[in-house]
């Protein structure tokens, strides 16, 4: 995994215009690990609903492709504007955008057209950003701004649609809306209260606060807030299954003792090996049995954040992480806790013991009860693709 000292968390929260089923804003993220680049695009389509969503989605798709291939900034913007379909009502083709091309350890580019100016925070301060303005000859009413910055660990970059800055427009005390200044003050206060607040939580807070500016807490426009947070990675290590060789048990347990991050033990055999080798008793709180739901309750061990049953729990968690929309079945207590740990971590390492557990080879068991290695690969895929985590897989 490159850049283990800096993790780039990219999240966006959105609310739809009241009465619409889809958001007229769109966002896309991409990591180019081999190039040490992180790309993010936020677009606001003209109006709201399906038509706006179409404009925004076309814009984010093209912008991501152009920025990935390092196409000229102004030429990229012209192609986007030329390609967008014309609105039947307003007779124009239009979508705003903010594009982030972050290169860790190097110069990063931010390209904007008609979105509110992005915020670059460092130690809670709004850094002054120099922007170069470019105007297309074919589209003289559109102005593209290019900023070049050096982003470092601890920085936050925040972009939003005008549903944030224009929230509360015309309301008492908010004659001109919340504006960038109001959003900035709110963000700075939130970070002061919780300096380690995640991009996910901060984006949600900004969107909800923007909506609260409107009369009757209504969503009179699509509201989107994108947050990019550069930070020291929050690491998690999950051990599951006994090692292939019994004489490796001590080294296996040392992976728990010597890790700086969250530790999860998944499987009774795994927990018993670590308990024996480290001399740490394994405890089960019987009060949790009635609250556990359909899976065995979590156990406790000193220095370990979560101890779970093995294959059944991992399979249930994989199903819930994959599901879109979310599953409506009750979430077992242990699954809820493991999902929370996954969501709160940036880098997740699975250490998979390769000794076969005969209990899971019974052909009469449900097909979905996959063997350990397959379910871990499944988790790795969904955590990387849907939740943008860095995932390492190690066999022991």
What is the C-alpha separation between 379 and 383, in angstroms, rounded? 6
Residue 245: φ, ψ to 5°: -115, 135
pTM of the model: 0.86
The strand pairing partners of 85, in sequence order, are: none
Kindly state the tokens that stand for 229: 């947070």
**Can you give the pLDDT of all 396 residues of the chain as single tens digits?**
344 588 999 999 999 999 999 999 999 999 998 888 999 999 999 888 998 999 999 999 999 999 999 998 888 988 888 888 766 665 566 889 999 999 988 899 999 999 999 999 999 999 999 999 988 887 887 889 999 999 999 999 999 999 999 998 888 877 889 999 999 999 999 999 999 999 999 999 999 999 999 989 999 999 999 999 999 999 999 999 989 888 899 999 999 998 999 999 999 999 999 999 999 999 988 778 777 788 989 999 999 999 999 999 999 999 999 998 888 889 999 999 999 999 999 999 999 988 765 555 555 444 434 578 889 999 999 999 999 999 999 999
3-class DSSP string for 14-71: EECCCCCCCCCEEEEEEEEHHHCEEEEEEEEECCCHHHHHHHHHHHHHHHHHHHHCCC
Neighbours of 316 (CB within 10 A): 24
């Amino acid at each position: 995994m490159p850049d283990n000292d800096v993790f780039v968390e990219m999240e966006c929260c959105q609310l739809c215009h009241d009465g619409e089923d889809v958001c007229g804003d769109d966002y896309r993220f991409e990591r180019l690990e081999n190039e040490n680049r992180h790309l993010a695009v936020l677009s606001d389509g003209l109006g709201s609903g399906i038509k706006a969503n179409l404009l925004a989605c076309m814009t984010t798709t093209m912008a991501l492709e152009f920025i990935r291939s390092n196409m000229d900034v102004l030429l990229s913007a012209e192609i986007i504007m030329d390609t967008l379909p014309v609105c039947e009502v307003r007779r124009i083709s239009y979508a705003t955008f903010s594009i982030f091309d972050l290169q860790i350890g190097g110069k990063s580019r931010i390209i904007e057209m008609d979105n509110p100016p992005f915020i670059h925070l460092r130690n809670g301060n709004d850094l002054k950003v120099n922007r170069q303005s470019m105007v297309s000859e074919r589209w003289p009413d559109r102005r593209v701004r290019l900023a070049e910055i050096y982003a470092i660990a601890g920085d936050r970059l925040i972009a939003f649609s005008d549903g944030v800055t224009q929230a509360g427009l015309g309301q008492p005390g908010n004659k001109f809306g919340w504006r960038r200044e109001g959003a900035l003050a709110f963000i700075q206060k939130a970070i002061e209260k919780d300096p380690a607040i995640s991009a996910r939580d901060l984006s949600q807070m900004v969107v909800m606060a923007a909506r609260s500016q409107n009369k009757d807490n209504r969503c009179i426009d699509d509201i989107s807030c994108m947050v990019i947070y550069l930070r020291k990675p929050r690491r998690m290590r999950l051990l599951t299954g006994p090692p292939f060789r019994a004489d490796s048990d001590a080294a296996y347990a040392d992976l728990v003792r010597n890790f700086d991050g969250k530790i999860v033990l998944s499987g009774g055999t795994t927990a018993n090996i670590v308990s024996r080798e480290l001399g740490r008793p394994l405890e089960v709180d019987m009060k949790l049995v009635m609250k556990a739901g359909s899976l065995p309750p979590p156990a406790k061990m000193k220095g370990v954040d979560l101890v779970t049953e093995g294959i059944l729990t991992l399979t249930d968690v994989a199903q819930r992480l994959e599901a879109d929309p979310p599953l409506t079945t009750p979430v077992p207590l242990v699954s809820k806790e493991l999902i929370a740990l996954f969501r709160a971590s940036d880098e997740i390492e699975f250490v998979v013991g390769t000794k076969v557990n005969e209990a899971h080879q019974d052909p009469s068991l449900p097909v979905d009860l996959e063997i350990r290695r397959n379910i871990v690969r499944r988790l790795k895929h969904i955590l990387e693709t849907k939740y943008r985590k860095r995932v390492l897989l190690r066999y022991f």
